[in-house]
Amino acid sequence: MKHILCYGDSNTFGTDPIHGGRHPDDVRWTGVLQMLLGSDYRVIEEGCGGRTTVFEDEISYGRNGLKMLIPIIASHNPLDLIVVMLGTNDLKKRFQVTSWDLGRAMEQIVDTIRSFPFAPSYPDPEILIVSPVLIKTGISDSIYGCFTEEASAMSRCFRPEYEAVARQKNCHFFDAASVAEASEKDRLHMTAENHRKLAAALAKEIQKLLISCNYLVP
C-alpha cells in the first residue's frame, strides 16, 4: 500500500463556500482521490483553514505550516508521497509578501521535508508541489476582508514560482488552477464540482509519478 500525505489549507480541509461549514469526506478532493486511487493507496488528509507556508499569523494561532510540518510527518511516517498545496493564506494583506517570497517559502517547506529522518529501510517520499487555485477578483468585497484585490493578481505568481522550485529541488509539480477554480460566491474556496475536478487530475498525476516506485510502505 502506498501512503500519500496531503498537506494544505482550507481548500484541503474542505471549506464549503456555498453552504458553509465543511464539505463531507467523500466530497473533499482528498476523499475523492482516495476513491479514485483505490485500496492500494491510503490518502492522509492534513488540511487546516488559515494555514500559511512559513508565516506566523498573530491573529490565528497555530497556522504556520512550516512549524506543524515535522510533527505531522512524524505521526504518519513512512510515506511514499507528500502533496503540498499551500500559499493562498500567505497573500493576506498583513503578510505583505512579494512573488519572490512565495517561492522562497515553498523552498523552506521542501527543504524541511528533505531534512526529516525518514525510516532507513524505505526511500524518502516523493514531493508533489501543487500551486493553489487562483483567488478571484472581488475578494476584497467578500467575507474575507483580510485579502486585498492585489491578492488576486499575486495568486497568478504561484505557478511560475512553484514550478521553478520544483525544477530546482527535483520535485513534481501540478497547477490546480489548470483544472479547478474558486467559487463565485466567496472568491476563495472550491465547490464540490471543483474538488472532483482537482481529484481526478491529481489521481492521474499521482499514478504516473508513483508507477516507477518498486517499494510498498506496509
DSSP assignment of 108-174 equals HHHHHHHHS---TTSPPPEEEEEEPPPPPTTGGGSS-TTS-HHHHHHGGGHHHHHHHHHHHHT-EEE
Q: What is the pLDDT of residue 217?
A: 40
Sign of CA dihedral 147, 150, 152, 154: negative
**Average pLDDT score over residue span 126-145:** 95
Question: How many percent of the chain have pLDDT more than 90?
Answer: 89
Over residues 105-122, the pLDDT tens digits come to 999 999 999 999 987 888
With cell 481548500, the residue in question is: 11
The backbone torsions φ and ψ at residue 46, rounded to the nearest 5 degrees and listed phi first, read -135, 80
Residue 212's pLDDT band, with cuts at 50, 70 and 90, is low
With cell 464549503, the residue in question is: 16
Over residues 27-84, the pLDDT tens digits come to 999 999 999 999 999 999 999 999 999 999 988 899 999 999 999 999 999 999 999 9
Q: What is the pLDDT of residue 119?
A: 79
Domains of the chain: 2-210 (3.40.50.1110)
Helix (H) or strand (E) holding 32: helix 29-37
Q: Which of 190-194, 201-205, 211-215 has the weakest average pLDDT?
A: 211-215
Beta bridge partners of 85: 8
Q: How far apart are CA 39 and CA 78, in angstroms?
A: 18
Helix (H) or strand (E) holding 103: helix 99-115
Closest CA to 178 of 198, 192, 196: 198
Model confidence, pTM:
0.95
Q: Is the pLDDT of residue 211 over 90?
A: no
